Structure 1
């Protein structure tokens, strides 16, 4: 299996999951120009990461890729005991990060996608920051009850970690969310996380 990833993007979460799965894999770090190339768009027409190839099978979309990796390594515990309820919990929290947390950053990264008046960009970003902080409160509450979002280490944790890194990079204040901060500290010290970050020439932030 081969992963195509862009440093610091949501694909870095997939890179972490590949490490946690413990199965052999390759990776290729790509940049914006590469993602616009005909060769890359043949794998993913929208020109985005992550993408994985596994033999003649190509898969896009973070949540689908992470589930595919977890299914291929049941002994890793990424779906807990692989029972129906454990899989549902892992999927529930992966959906939370994929559908709630990640999209909340889009007005911060690209306010021009939401409003034409550049004089209003700062206002759009400020409102989006408040929403990001609010959405993270659910994760903080959950992490006050359990060490991992699903109750066991799953792909949702890798994805959540990357979004917390985004918040730090954008100087979004999450200091009041003590359980989330403790979670990030645990992840910062995780061998699989550190390997994936190092592979993409990233540092703990």
Structure 2
């Protein structure tokens, strides 16, 4: 398998999941410009990461890719123990990261996509930060007495970790969220996470 990723993007969650799976894989780290090149557009016509090549099969979309990795390497436990309940639990928290947290960062990354008046950008960002703090309160509560967001190490954890890196860089107030802080420390001490960050020039 070959993963196409951009440093620190949501694709880095796929990169960590690949390390956790034990799968043999290669990785190509792209710049924003390379993502729009004809060579990459032939792989993913929307010019976004991640993309995963497995032989002649090309898969896009973060949630689909981590699910595929889990199915290809079930011994990794990334989708749970094989029971419908654990798979659903992993998917619940993957959806929380993918469908709730990730889009909530968009006003911080590109406020101009939401409002034309630049004088309102700071107010929009402040609203987004406050909303994200409220959303992270759910993860903080879920992690009480747990090391991993689904209750076991799953493909949701790398995604949550990447969003927490974004939160740190964009000034989201996570003060007092001790469970999330401990989670970040566990991820930063993890060999697979360290390897992915190093390969993407983020360590």
Q: TM-score range by the shorter chain?
A: over 0.9
Following TM superposition, by how much is the alpha carbon of 1:79 offset from its aligned partner in structure 2, in angstroms? 1.6
Distance in 2 (alpha carbons) for counterparts of 1:6 and 1:153: 24
Following TM superposition, by how much is the alpha carbon of 1:3 offset from its aligned partner in structure 2, in angstroms? 0.1
Following TM superposition, by how much is the alpha carbon of 1:16 offset from its aligned partner in structure 2, in angstroms? 0.3
Distance in 1 (alpha carbons) for counterparts of 2:171 and 2:126: 12
* Cross-structure match for 2:192: 192
Bigger Cα displacement from structure 2, 58-67 vs 73-82: 73-82
1:18 aligns with 2:23: no
TM-score where L is the length of structure 2: 0.98
1:134 aligns with 2:149: no
Structure 2, gaps ≥5 residues long: none
Distance in 2 (alpha carbons) for counterparts of 1:86 and 1:38: 40
C-alpha distance after superposition, 1:54-108 (max 9, x if no partner): 0000010000000001111111111221111111111111001000011100000
1:71 aligns with 2:58: no
Distance in 2 (alpha carbons) for counterparts of 1:152 and 1:4: 27
Q: Contact (CA 8 Å) 2:3, 2:27: kept in 1 or not? A: yes
1:152 aligns with 2:168: no
Distance in 2 (alpha carbons) for counterparts of 1:146 and 1:80: 15
Structure 1, gaps ≥5 residues long: none
C-alpha distance after superposition, 1:98-139 (max 9, x if no partner): 000111000000000000111101111000000111111100
C-alpha distance after superposition, 1:28-72 (max 9, x if no partner): 000111111122112212111000000000010000000001111
Secondary structure of 2:129's counterpart equals: helix
TM-score where L is the length of structure 1: 0.97
* Cross-structure match for 2:61: 61
Report how many aligned residue pairs link the two structures: 203
Distance in 1 (alpha carbons) for counterparts of 2:25 and 2:123: 43
Structure 1 ranges of 4+ moved more than 4 A? none
